[in-house]
Chains A and B, each alone.
Chain A
Amino acid sequence: MSDLNPATPVDGTNATPPVFTDAARKPVVVVDDIRVTYRVFASGKKVTPGNSRVKHKGRLREVEALKGVSLVAYEGDSIGVIGTNGSGKSTLMKAISGLLPIDTGSVFASSRPSFLGVGAAMIKELSGEKNVILGGLALGMTKTEIKEKFDHIVDFAGIRDFIDLPMQTYSSGMVERLKFSIAAAREHDILIIDEALAVGDQDFRRRSEARMRELASGAGSVFLVSHSMKSILDTCNRAIWLDKGIVKMDGTAQEVCRAYAAAQGAPLDD
C-alpha cells in the first residue's frame, strides 16, 4: 500500500501503516518491531487450515501473537487499543510492561510501565482491608503510603460498609472496583489498563474514567485495552487497531474507532 496517511486502515496480512511520530512531543514509550511467538504443545488434532499464524512442527505448534509491532507513545497520550479477540492486544500490553519476554525487537520506556493487574495479588478468603494492604504492597507502595491512602481507596471503591468482610462475599463489580481503586491510588508514569472500565456502575465508571484522564494528563501516558468504543472515545486521544498480530491502524481515537466499528459491521452513530 503506497498511501502513507496513518489514518487509513491497511489491508493485507503483513502490511502495516507507517509508525506515527510527532517531533514536537517527548516520547515516553518506543516499541520497536516486536515479535512474540507462543510455542505450545497441541493436544488436540484439528487446527483450522489456512490460519497463517499457526505453524506446525510435529506436536509443537507455534502461534505468532505479535508479528512485528512498532509504535511510539508520547507524553500525555492516552491510547486506546482495540481489535478482535486474539488479535494480540493483551500480548502487546504484557510485552510493553516487560512482563512477557519478547522474541525479537525491543521496548524502551521512560520508566517501567505498570500493568493495572493488582487483582492477581488478592486472596479472596481475606477481608477487603487486608487485600488493600496486600495489593498496595504488590504494587510497590510502602506500608505508610498505604495507610495514608487507605481511606481514599476504600471510598473511591465505595465499599466502606463491607471492608471488613472476606472478599469472596463481594459482588464481582465490587471486587473490580476495589482492584481499580488500589491500582489507581498510586501515581504511574505509564499505566496499562486491560478491560477494567467495563465493570462497575455508571457512577463508578465516570469516576474511574476521570481518574484515568488525570493519570494521563501528567507527564505519563496510558494504554487502555477495551472493547467498548464509548470508553475509548471518552478517555483516549489516540487509538491503535491491532489485527492478527500487526498494527492495522494508528490515529486519533475518533478515526480509528469509526473505521474499526465499520469493519465490524456496526458503524458508530454520532
Chain B
Amino acid sequence: MSLSSATGAGGFDPLALASAAKLTKVGTRPKLWHYLKDFAQRRAFAFTLARYNLEASTAKSSLGAAWHVVVPALQIGVYGAIFGLLLASARPANFVPYLITGIVLFQFISGCFTDGAKSITGNASLVRSLDFPRILLPVSAVVSNILRVVPLIALMLIGIVLFGQYPSLNWLLFIPDFVLIILFSTGASLISARMTVHMEDFNQLLPFITRVLFYSSGIFWNIDKMVHIGWLKEVLHYNPIHLYLVIARASLVSGYTAEPMDWIAGAAWAFGICLFGIVWFWRAEEKYGRNV
C-alpha cells in the first residue's frame, strides 16, 4: 500500500473522517441502562475475582480459609467477656445470641464498606489497563464478603442454638433481612469506592467511621432501653445498621420484636443507598482511569 498520498494539514478533517467511517467516540460514559446491561453480562468476572482473591489471601497460611471463621469467633469471645462484665446488669437479654448476631452482621457490613473503599484504588493497574464496567470491582468486594460471611452465619446460627434459642419458622424472616443488608452494603461499597478515588485521605478516616458505627449501632448494648433522650433514641434507632440488627434479632432471638416501621425504614435505606450508590458511582465512570 502507498503511504505517500499524504495531504497537507489543511486537508485533515477529523470529524468528517470519523463520521464518514461511522466511528464512535472512545472514552465516553455509557448510558446507565447500557452500563448495567454490560455489568450483568460480565458479572462472572466479579464473582471469579472475588472467589480467587479469597483463595489467594489464605493460600499461604496453614489454617487457610478457617481464618475467616476463627477471627470473628475470637472477637465474639473477647467482646463477650469484656462487655458482658462491664455492662453487668445492663446486659441485653439473651446476651450471647444478641452479641453474636450483632458482631457477625456488622462484620459483613463494615467489610463491604472498607473493601469497597480499596476496590478501585487498590486495583489501579487493572483499571488502567483493561476496559470493563468499573462497578464490577466494588461489587466483587461485596461478593467476596458474602462468601466470607456465609460460613460465619452458619456458625452464628449454631451458636444461637447452643445458647438456648430454638429454630422456628420465624427464622425465615432473617432471609429478607439479609437481602436488605446486602443491598445496603452494596450501596455503601460503591459510595466508599468513589469517595476514595476523589480523596485518598478517606482511607485514613475509614477505621474511625467503622468504630463509631460499631459503638452506635447497638452491637452489644440495647439502644431502645439505654438511651433516654427522645430525639437521640430515634436517630440511633433508625440508623440502618441498627434496624437490620433489630430485625435479625426479632427473627432469631426470643424476647425481641421488630415493628412494621422497622421493616419499612430498613427497606427504604437499603433501596435508597443502593440506588444512590449505583448512580453516583456510574457518574464518574470515565474518570476512574485518571484519578487512581
Interface residues of A (CB under 8 A from B): 4-7, 18-33, 70, 72, 76, 94-102, 106-110, 112-115, 117-121, 123, 125-126, 130, 133-134, 137-140, 142-143, 166, 237-238, 251-252
Could you count the A-B residue pairs with CB atoms below 8 Å apart for me: how many are there?
A: 162
> Do B130 and A117 touch (CB < 8 A)?
yes
Expressed in whole angstroms, the minimum distance between the Cβ of A65 and any Cβ of chain B is 12
> Do B6 and A4 touch (CB < 8 A)?
yes
Expressed in whole angstroms, the Cα–Cα distance for A67 and B125 within the complex equals: 24
> Do A28 and B6 touch (CB < 8 A)?
no
Check A134/B17 contact, CB under 8 A, given A94-B128, A100-B128, A120-B130. Answer: no
Tell whether B21 is near chain A: CB-to-CB under 8 Å: yes
Q: Which of A98, A119, A142 contacts B131 (CB 8 A)?
A: A98
CB closest residue in chain A, given B38: A140
> Do B1 and A97 touch (CB < 8 A)?
no
> Do A118 and B52 touch (CB < 8 A)?
no
> Do B26 and A112 touch (CB < 8 A)?
yes
> Do A237 and B130 touch (CB < 8 A)?
no
Expressed in whole angstroms, the Cα–Cα distance for A30 and B129 within the complex equals: 21
Expressed in whole angstroms, the minimum distance between the Cβ of B9 and any Cβ of chain A is 4
> Do A101 and B27 touch (CB < 8 A)?
yes
Of B55-63, B181-189, B256-264, the segment with at least 4 beta carbons within 8 Å of chain A is B55-63
Interface residues of B (CB under 8 A from A): 1-9, 11-12, 14-15, 17-18, 21-27, 42, 44-45, 48-49, 52-53, 55-56, 59-60, 123, 125-132, 286-287, 289-290
8 extra A-B contacts, CB within 8 A, seeds A21-B6, A121-B49, A138-B126: A18-B9, A21-B5, A27-B17, A99-B127, A110-B23, A117-B128, A121-B130, A137-B48
> Do A24 and B5 touch (CB < 8 A)?
yes
Expressed in whole angstroms, the Cα–Cα distance for A149 and B259 within the complex equals: 55
> Do B129 and A166 touch (CB < 8 A)?
no
**Which of chain B's residues have a CB closer than 8 A to the CB of A107?**
25-27
Expressed in whole angstroms, the minimum distance between the Cβ of A34 and any Cβ of chain B is 10
> Do A18 and B12 touch (CB < 8 A)?
yes
Check A138/B45 contact, CB under 8 A, given A100-B290, A118-B130, A120-B129. Answer: yes
Expressed in whole angstroms, the Cα–Cα distance for A23 and B16 within the complex equals: 12
Closest 10 CB pairs of A and B: A117-B129, A98-B27, A32-B14, A108-B18, A108-B23, A125-B56, A98-B26, A120-B125, A137-B45, A19-B12
